[in-house]
Amino acid sequence: MSTRKGLTDNALIFRRSVREGLRDPGPAFVLPLLPPLLLTIVFIALFERLAELPAFGVGQYVDYLAPGAVLLTAVLGAGFTSTSLAQDVRGG
């Protein structure tokens, strides 16, 4: 597969996923954001006092937790895209 064909295929899948997400934003945008948002809120409420320990090393607990929440959002969004692609391959 050439690089150009790979980029064209990726652009096609991206456009189809965005269009589908705009038609039904719940599974595409809202559901991937809910778990990281809820986990961030719960973990900050539970473990925020850890940042007060001298050996913690990071300014605030949210600074420690935020990269994981962003990564989790990306992984869940990729899950939506891969599920949509599998449905397209199966159903046409």
Digit-coded pLDDT (tens) for 53-79: 777 776 777 777 888 888 888 888 788
The count of C-alpha atoms lying within 13 angstroms of the C-alpha of 29, restricted to the half-sphere facing its C-beta, is 9
pLDDT at res. 1: 61
pLDDT at res. 92: 67
pLDDT at res. 24: 85
> Could you tell me how many residues make up the chain?
92
83, pLDDT greater than 70: yes
35, pLDDT greater than 80: yes
